[in-house]
Structure 1
C-alpha cells in the first residue's frame, strides 16, 4: 500500500523547509500539522488540503491544492508577510523527493492575510498547487 499523496508531499515539504538555514533561523522546528497548545509564534502550520484525481491514460496521479499558514505575534503584518514570502520562494517550483510518488509540479498559487484575536496575531495563508504521479 502506498503512502497518501498528501502525506508524502507534507513529509517532503517538512524535510525541505527544515533543511533550509533561513527557514530554520526564522522558525526553528516550528512547522506543525496542528500547533501545540501554547506554541509561541512565529510558526508555520499545514492547513487544509484538497486532493483530486489527475490521472492520465497510463499514469495515475493526483492534484493537490493546499495551504500553509504563517502566524506571527508582531504588531502589523510585516513579519508574517516576510516569513510567508520566504516559504513561497522556497517551495515554488521546488524539486522534492516524495515517498511512493513523483512530484510533477509545485507552484505557489496565492496569499491571503488576516488578523486574529483582535489584532493580537497576524496570519498569512499561502496556497499552493501540486501535481504528483504514483510510482
Structure 2
C-alpha cells in the first residue's frame, strides 16, 4: 500500500529530477528547488507550484490526470534568466520516465510556459505547466 497520493508522488519525482541536474543548478546558483522557498531565499529558484488532479478512470483501469505548475523566479536580466531556467526545466521534465512511489507515470508532457514581470517587487516569474497521467502500480 502506497503512502503518497499520485499527485504527491509526482511532485516528489519531479523535485528529485530537477535537484539532480547540474546544468539547472548552474543556472540557479545551486540546487534551489523548493516546495516553498525559505523566507530569506533570493532568486533565482524554482518552486513546485499549484497541482490540480482529477479522475480520468476508464472502464478497465483507474487513472488520474494532473496539471502541475512549476514556477521559476528571477530578478536579473529581464525575463531572460527566468526563461533560460524554464527552458532547462522543460527539457528535463517533458516526456521524462520518472519513477513514482506506488504509482506508474503513464505520460508527462509540457503544456505551456508563461513569463511575466512582477512590477511591484522587480521579480520575474516563468510559470511552466505540465500534464501528467498516473495509474496504480501493479
- TM (normalized to structure 2)? 0.92
Deviation of 1:118 (Å): 3.2
Compute the RMSD of aligned alpha carbons: 1.3
Deviation of 1:60 (Å): 1.2
Is the CA contact (8 Å cut-off) linking 1:52 and 1:63 kept in structure 2? Answer: yes
Residues 14-60 of structure 1: per-residue CA shift (max 9 Å, x gap)? 11111222122223221111111110111000111110102122321
Instruction: Give 1:32's aligned residue.
Output: 34
Instruction: Give 1:17's aligned residue.
Output: 18
Is the CA contact (8 Å cut-off) linking 1:75 and 1:119 kept in structure 2? Answer: no
Q: Which of residues 68, 74, 77 is equivalent to 1:72?
A: 74
Deviation of 1:117 (Å): 4.3
1:63 aligns with 2:72: no
- Any gaps of 5 or more consecutive residues in structure 2? none
Instruction: Tell me how far apart the structure 2 counterparts of residues 99 and 23 of structure 1 sit (CA, whole Å).
Output: 24
Runs (4 or more) in structure 1 with deviation over 4 Å come to: none
Number of residue equivalences: 135
Instruction: Tell me how far apart the structure 2 counterparts of residues 80 and 20 of structure 1 sit (CA, whole Å).
Output: 17
